[in-house]
């Protein structure tokens, strides 16, 4: 029988009871490890983290905690090859795709470790400047930020077992808040191993970082008023979470990153054979194939001028035909598998749904898989759809297929002198009801700025690309720790990252009213930067 991974809770490693869930290689079907959270004493686990873990961790200053995070970075970097091996076996990713998750997570942690040094040796932060409440200027108010006296629970998605952990844990730990992570079961191995390596190294105080692998049943029942929960997953699950008494009655905080029908817009000036056109084609193909399209930020809808539709389809099909799909252990493979056969079935069902409304313009499944058995492997080749009437379409704007699937649709270019040429495309992008990111491609940088502002109110991030940044741009789907990650409406309404802005979720804002001298004595003049 395969190894049963242990949970780290209450300051000790504990194996769950029962047979557990077996994690498998999504390419070969081989059983890897088992996970189970059955039988854990959840009240004790949360109490230990909230009290003992928090006490010793909060006692350190921001700069001291940042130094500990830097030590964690060094440890993770030294064990990268171990993590790559787990990612290939458990997630079916190529080495380049594994880097997006593993190196991306380590980079994000490193970024927050460096930012934390700027906060200094203090235990609380000023939020803005003191303001006088009296005519004689003797009685003032100072808003302050102090770490919440609770625990941070992360309920993570299957697609980023490394980055999903560290992009949340970095600002939480820097804030002085202990973390309990519940990784998605299908790919929990990598998260568990990373936490185990950090725990075994003794870098963090006992109870500052815990991991539970298996069912999430009962976790929210442990959430108290000062705790915070960050969830990444489906909008349906998020709706269920929001109705829980932990948030409705006890007032705990909840941050959600949910489904997102992200868009890419080819601007009216970006005709074929121009640099912007080529950048658009390259990015759509990359977003369809990186991690087999299993990214919450992937391009799902591509809007192009009516006159360029055929040219765009021809260019995309030509590039997609050059993407070998199969076993990531083969060096010729550029796209590996989905994370499981369950996800494989979900993606095929989604493709079937889109076919009710869209025309399949490219189906890569006609090409045999490389070193993989199609009856076993969870490999789905790229599928490209075209929707000729996006105004009357519904599935295009409602159904996200979480795999290597995207749809192209034409928009009408406005010709009036005072109109935005891409106004129709903006309206179509907004039909997604709130998205994490939209990318726009033009040869005119001034025009990109105007278009970006039109999209900003319904998108967490706008990625505006012109030829001058083709070598330096970070990519439509890459979430950088300096930028906000989140989105309104359907995307969950949450916010993560964005530099030190992320610390706000793990702090409580309070107004201290006192004499100026008392305020100066209470807290040094250390402000929360926005960088």
Write out the catalytic residue numbers.
Answer: 257, 296
- What's the farthest any 2 CA atoms get from each other in the chain? 81
Taking alpha carbons only, the member of 493, 108, 97 closest to residue 295 is: 97
Tokens representing residue 346 in the block: 């979900």
DSSP 371-431: S--TTT------EEEE-S-TTT-SHHHH----SSEEEEEEEPPP-STTS-TTHHHHHHHHT
CB contact set of 61 (below 8 Å; sequence gap of 6+): 119, 120, 121, 122, 123
- Beta carbons of 406 and 300 less than 8 angstroms apart: yes
Rounded distance between C-alpha atoms, residue 353 and residue 518, angstroms: 64
Bridge partner residues of 302 (DSSP): 264, 408
Kind of pairing between the strands at 459-465 and 299-305? unpaired
What is the CB neighbour count within 10 angstroms for residue 397?
Answer: 22
DSSP 183-252: --GGGHHHHHHHHHHHHHHT-SPTTSEEE--S--TTSGGG--TT-EEEEES-HHHHHHHHTSHHHHTS--
122: phi then psi, degrees, rounded to nearest 5: -130, 170
CB contact set of 431 (below 8 Å; sequence gap of 6+): 390, 396, 397
The three-state secondary structure class of 136 is coil
CB contact set of 449 (below 8 Å; sequence gap of 6+): 464
> Half-sphere exposure of residue 157, counting CA atoms within 13 Å on the CB side?
22
- Beta carbons of 312 and 264 less than 8 angstroms apart: no
- Beta carbons of 16 and 38 less than 8 angstroms apart: yes
Bridge partner residues of 209 (DSSP): 179
């Amino acid at each position: 029988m395969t190894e049963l991974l242990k949970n780290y809770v209450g300051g000790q490693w504990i194996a769950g009871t029962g047979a557990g869930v077996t994690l498998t290689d999504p390419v070969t079907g081989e059983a890897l490890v088992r996970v189970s959270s059955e039988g854990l004493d959840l009240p004790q686990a949360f109490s230990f983290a909230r009290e003992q873990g928090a006490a010793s961790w909060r006692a350190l200053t921001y700069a001291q905690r940042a130094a500990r995070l830097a030590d964690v970075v060094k440890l993770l970097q030294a064990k990268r090859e171990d993590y790559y091996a787990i990612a290939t076996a458990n997630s079916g990713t190529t080495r380049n795709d594994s880097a997006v998750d593993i190196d991306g997570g380590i980079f994000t942690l490193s970024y927050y470790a460096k930012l934390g040094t700027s906060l200094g040796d203090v235990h609380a932060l000023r939020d803005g400047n003191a303001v006088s409440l009296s005519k004689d200027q003797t009685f003032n108010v100072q808003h302050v930020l102090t770490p919440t006296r609770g625990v941070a629970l992360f309920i993570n998605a299957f697609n980023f077992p490394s980055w999903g952990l560290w992009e949340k844990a970095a600002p939480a730990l820097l804030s002085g808040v202990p973390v309990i992570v519940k990784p998605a079961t299908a790919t929990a191995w990598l998260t568990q191993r990373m936490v185990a390596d950090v725990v075994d190294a003794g870098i963090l105080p006992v109870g500052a970082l815990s991991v539970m692998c298996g069912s999430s049943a009962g976790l929210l029942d442990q959430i108290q008023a000062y705790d915070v929960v960050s969830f990444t997953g489906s909008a349906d699950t998020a709706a269920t979470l929001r109705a829980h008494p932990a948030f409705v009655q006890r007032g705990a905080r909840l941050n959600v990153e949910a489904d997102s029908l992200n868009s890419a817009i080819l601007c009216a000036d970006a005709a074929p054979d121009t640099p912007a056109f080529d950048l658009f084609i390259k990015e759509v193909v990359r977003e369809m194939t990186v991690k087999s399209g299993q990214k919450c930020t992937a391009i799902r809808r591509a809007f192009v001028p009516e006159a360029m539709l055929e040219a765009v389809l021809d260019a995309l099909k030509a590039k997609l035909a050059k993407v070998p799909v199969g076993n990531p252990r083969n060096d010729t493979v550029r796209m590996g598998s989905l994370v499981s056969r369950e996800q494989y079935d979900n993606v095929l069902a989604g493709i079937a749904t889109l076919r009710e409304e869209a025309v399949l313009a490219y189906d890569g499944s006609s090409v045999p898989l490389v070193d993989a058995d199609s009856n076993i492997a969870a490999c789905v080749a790229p599928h490209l759809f075209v929707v000729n009437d996006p105004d009357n379409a519904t599935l295009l704007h409602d159904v996200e297929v979480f795999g290597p699937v995207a749809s192209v649709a034409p928009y009408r270019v406005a010709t009036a002198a005072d109109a935005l040429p891409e106004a129709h495309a903006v309206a179509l992008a907004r039909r997604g009801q709130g998205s994490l990111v939209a990318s726009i491609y033009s040869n005119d940088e001034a025009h990109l700025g105007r278009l970006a502002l039109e999209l900003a109110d319904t998108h967490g991030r706008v990625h505006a690309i012109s030829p001058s940044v083709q070598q330096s741009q970070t990519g439509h789907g890459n979430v950088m720790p300096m930028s906000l990650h989140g989105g309104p409406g359907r995307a969950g309404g949450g916010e993560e990252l964005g530099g030190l802005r992320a610390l706000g979720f793990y702090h409580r804002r309070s107004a201290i009213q006192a004499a100026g001298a008392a305020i100066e004595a209470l807290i040094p003049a250390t402000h929360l930067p926005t960088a």
